[in-house]
Chain A
Amino acid sequence: MSSSTAIAPVSSRTDLQSAGAANGSEEQYVTFTVGSEEYGVNILAVREIRGWTPESRLPNLPDYVRGVINLRGIIIPIFDLRARFGGGPTQVTKRHVVVVMQVGERTRGILVDAISDILAIGHDAIKPPPDVDSGLIDAEYLSGLYTAENRMVTLLNVGKLFAGEHVDQDAVPRAALETT
């Protein structure tokens, strides 16, 4: 559980969301659910959405790194969004979905419960995330909040969400070892 705080947030990645949002025009977001919460990512970052296929586990990594899958010949890591937000590992069923995203040079998948919508969101309609206790959630990877028909959609900054995963090579496994 404590593993989520063990990640040093590194902010060197290119930021697709804020770059797109800066010009003030409408942008499309793919939204999906994890438990009762709804999240959105910029549609430009999404390469494809695919059904769950069993992953191969990777040793000595935090529980939100589910493993790797074969995406037509390239090997991509799958991250469990629920586990990333401290909800424990997802018990996957056939209905779970992987959102394959292009983050910079890298392709990676995030495991979510279901796709819910595609929303066109104007820049003005995005509200900044409130001050949250940084001990609980890293506000870094939230790029804003949006209200759609009484639902709150949390817009994610994909670039920062898993930024620690490749830059900080040594810290993660050490942390993983400590938790076991």
Chain B
Amino acid sequence: MDDLSRFKQTYFDESAELLAVAEAGLLRLAPGEIDMDEVNAIFRAVHSIKGGGGAFGFNDLVAFAHEFETVMDGVRNAEIPVTTRLVDTLIRANDVLARLLAHAADETEAPAGTTDDTVTALRRFLGRAEEPADEPAIPPPATLHPDDEDDEAGIFGDALAAIQAARDDPPPPPISGATPDGKIRWTIVFRPKAELLLSGNEPTYMLRALRRLGEAEVVCHLDKLPSLRDLDAELLHLSWTVTLLADPQVDRARIDDVFEFVADDCDIRISAEAPPPAVIPPAEPAPVFQTAPVPTAPAAPPSTPAATTSGSAKPGDGAKRTNGAAAGGDHAGPATHTIRVDLDKIDRLVNMVGEMVITQAMIAEHLRDLPPGQFQELLEGLESLAQHTRELRESVMSIRAQPVSSVFSRMPRLVRECAAVTGKEVMLVTTGETTEVDKTVVENLVDPLTHMIRNSIDHGLEGPEERERVGKPRAGTVHLSAAHRSGRIVIEVTDDGRGINRAKVLSKAIEKGLVQPGSSLSDEEIDNLIFLPGFSTADQVSNLSGRGVGMDVVRRNISSLGGRIGVYSTPGEGSRFVLSLPLTLAVLDGMVISVGEERFVLPLTNIVESLRPKPADLHGLVNKCDVMMARGEYVRLVHLHRLFGIPKAIDDATRGLVVLVETEDGSRLGLVVDEVLGQQQVVIKSLEANFRRLDGVAAATILGDGRVALILDVAGLREMSRHGGGANASGGATPPSPSLPAPADRSDQRQRQTV
């Protein structure tokens, strides 16, 4: 049972990847320039999902994937022209497939009718392809599988005839007589292994595909068919000989393609023209072909006359594809030298390397106390150890690193949808997709980027007419870029739209009570209002955005990753959103501070500056809540030692230091500490694994001397100083902005205090 669920998990993992492959391929599919490799990749992806699904008995999914696959097959045989509508339908089909997979993963039933519309749409393409003249656009009813049915009737009709024949005489030689002009006669002996059906493959389908290549005569061999008593219905006991009369365009590769996924599971012999014309005794067809050199579908050169390829299949494709099939029907085209590794193992590795870094720092600290000049070799050795450790850490971190392309590649889809909904013309340009960043960061980028791009299209870009009026190209451009900058990854979303309408933003903010009327804010401050919770300038709430749950969520997500977001806007020219994120969530840039005998780490992203205030800068507010004047602003002081109950610490801010910190929403706080010890990269350790979460503490780390230091959570500290902790420290001090329920905006706060 356990094993089965593990296999299932692997199947779902792989399917997710395959879906992504298919989607990426579909998005690149455009009328006119059809890359056959791409089409094949999509086909293979869908087929693999179907195959695996069959093995686990996900019948709905298999049935649907089958429809999908059939259309893809038509595309790759150039029977179905690639149109925008086709691509749209296929993308929709991909979504439906994803939904079915999700239901299968949750072990829930997909609601009835989930697939109906899409199946109908898919079949419409098929109908057109197969009967171009007769019934142009009448969709078959979406109940059964009518096209399957009549096809099967054909195939098994042959089989039934063969049963009859096998009982009496050998069957008449199929398609007797000379090969008609310009046609090539192929003889294909297809002997699947009995287990073929177990892997979700369907010979009917292959035979049907062969029939589509030309005029086919199918003979079904029943020699291996056991008596009814011994019949195992799960196994396949049939084999076939197909005589195919095809146009010269149909080359060996196209035939190989049909058996692409089953090459390992069956015995296929394909021969062309020069026939010993199919005098195949059905009782023992094998010996006749014993002379064939390669037992399975070989990567042999496309045989004789058909080598004049046209259109779809390139020479050499066949060989490549059979390789692909030999690799277990995997979707991977060119062999990439990768392995799938459990994330836990990598995490353990990262952990151990973290330990090494700490141990090495510890040794270095002890060696500093040695008398100088005496242990030269030891010191040199330590130096190179430090070097190796650093390299080791970098390479281990790079294992977890992934290119952001996995996120960026989802965006064309999004842009397409948004453009369709808003009626705008949008061009998406991406650069720096190969920039690598830690897996966890990549995973957490999807939502923020989705919001931001939606926002850019919905609010930033103008409609095509308006753009033309102001002399811009009709299509707006959204530029998504990623780059490494000083140990962080910087992601920018730039649009060439109208920019932030500051007057509107400000009036909206006043209307919603986010800003006091009459307050004067700088352009930058107004731009930043869009990150406030509940803010939206859209006059109408659209499906896309306008519900005011966009940018504040973005900012929250980003800051939970230790990142920051900024916006720069020029009216009439566009806006630029800049995200800056740490490369990994396992390591943090921190400032080590001391309070009493304790040391703490403050995330560097929170720190604005540290300073020692003069007595004149300090002011007492009611109930001993101190404020400090720093750079023209009043900042509330929070004594860390009071908050945490640490003895022997400096209480007087003028003798200690004030670290000015800024929380994610921009509000500032002055933390009173004893000393700032220095900047350091620290490995983030969980406190919750063996203990529990603590207020004001984000996590823990281990410093160079092996001792544990707590990493402070600035937002948590602010909350503490307002509520319980504040009471503890100063006997129920009222926070300076009691009427603000939500996190106070900086400008607002200033407003309140200066008025």
Contacts and interface: CB of A to CB of B under 8 A. Distances in A.
A60 interface: yes
Given A59-B645, A75-B685, A70 B706 contact: yes
B39 to A, nearest CB: 50
A173 B691 contact: no
B691 A166 contact: yes
B351 A73 contact: yes
Contacts of A73: 351-352, 354-355, 358, 685, 702
Given A56-B708, A59-B645, A73-B351, A108 B690 contact: yes
B302 interface: no
A8 B598 CA distance: 29
Interface string A152-176: 0000000000000110010001100
Interface in A69-87: 69-70, 72-77
Contacts of B695: 59-60, 173
A159 to B, nearest CB: 15
A59 B694 contact: yes
Contacts of A72: 355
A75 B690 contact: yes
Given A58-B710, A70-B708, A73-B355, A169 B700 contact: no
B299 interface: no
Q: Report the interface size class on chain B.
A: 20 to 34
Given A70-B707, A75-B685, A177-B724, A106 B690 contact: yes
Contact of B644 (A54, A60, A165): A60
Interface string A48-65: 000001111111110000
Given A177-B724, A180-B728, 5 more contacts: A55-B708, A56-B599, A70-B706, A73-B685, A77-B691
A174 B724 contact: yes
Interface in B232-270: none
A108 B120 CA distance: 61
Interface in A98-118: 106-108
B24 interface: no
B102 to A, nearest CB: 30
| 3 tightest A-B CB contacts, nearest first | A59-B644, A56-B708, A73-B355
Interface in A130-167: 165-166
A106 B727 CA distance: 33
Nearest to B696: A59
A75 B728 contact: no
Contacts of A53: 706
Contacts of A21: none
13 contacts: A56-B708, A56-B710, A58-B691, A58-B694, A59-B710, A73-B354, A73-B358, A74-B690, A75-B686, A76-B690, A106-B691, A169-B692, A180-B645
Interface residues of A, number: 29
Given A56-B709, A60-B695, A75-B686, A70 B644 contact: no
B755 to A, nearest CB: 34
A22 B440 CA distance: 45
A68 interface: yes
A87 B216 CA distance: 93
Contacts of A166: 691-692
A169 B706 CA distance: 28
A57 B594 CA distance: 13
A165 B643 contact: no
Nearest to A168: B692
Given A56-B707, A68-B700, A70-B708, A165 B692 contact: yes
B687 interface: yes
A72 B685 CA distance: 12
A41 B120 CA distance: 69
B697 interface: yes
A60 B725 CA distance: 9
Given A59-B643, A75-B700, A68 B689 contact: no
Interface string B19-61: 0000000000000000000000000000000000000000000
A87 B725 CA distance: 27
A178 to B, nearest CB: 10
B68 to A, nearest CB: 44
Interface in B351-404: 351-352, 354-355, 358
A107 B691 CA distance: 8
Given A70-B702, A73-B355, A106 B689 contact: yes
Contact of A165 (B691, B702, B706, B708): B691
B677 to A, nearest CB: 15
Looking at chain B's contact residues, the main secondary structure is mixed
B685 to A, nearest CB: 5
Most buried by B among A56, A76, A174: A56
Nearest to B688: A166
A74 B685 contact: yes
B646 interface: yes
Contacts of B693: 169
Nearest to A73: B355
B645 A60 contact: yes
A174 B720 CA distance: 12
Contacts of A173: 694-695, 724
Most buried by B among A73, A108, A166: A73
Contacts of B708: 55-56, 67-70, 75
Most buried by A among B355, B690, B727: B690
A72 B351 CA distance: 10
B742 to A, nearest CB: 22
B453 to A, nearest CB: 38
B51 to A, nearest CB: 39
Contacts of A177: 724-725, 727-728
A59 B725 CA distance: 11
Interface string B324-358: 00000000000000000000000000011011001
Nearest to A68: B708
Contacts of B724: 173-174, 177
A143 B354 CA distance: 40
Nearest to B707: A56
Nearest to A77: B691
Contacts of A180: 645, 728
A177 B708 CA distance: 23
Contacts of A68: 687, 691, 700, 708
Nearest to A166: B692
B686 to A, nearest CB: 7
A56 B692 contact: no
A141 B513 CA distance: 55
Interface string B650-688: 000000000000000000000000000000000001110
A61 B695 CA distance: 11
A174 to B, nearest CB: 7
Contacts of B702: 70, 73, 75
Nearest to A65: B691
B590 to A, nearest CB: 15
Nearest to A54: B707
Nearest to B641: A59
Contact of B690 (A56, A67, A107, A174): A107
A54 B597 CA distance: 11
B709 A75 contact: no
A54 B708 CA distance: 10
A46 B490 CA distance: 48
Given A75-B700, A177-B728, A60 B694 contact: yes
Interface in B695-723: 695-697, 700, 702, 706-710
Contacts of B646: 57, 59
B710 to A, nearest CB: 7
Contacts of A75: 685-687, 689-691, 700, 702, 708
Contact of A77 (B643, B644, B690, B725): B690
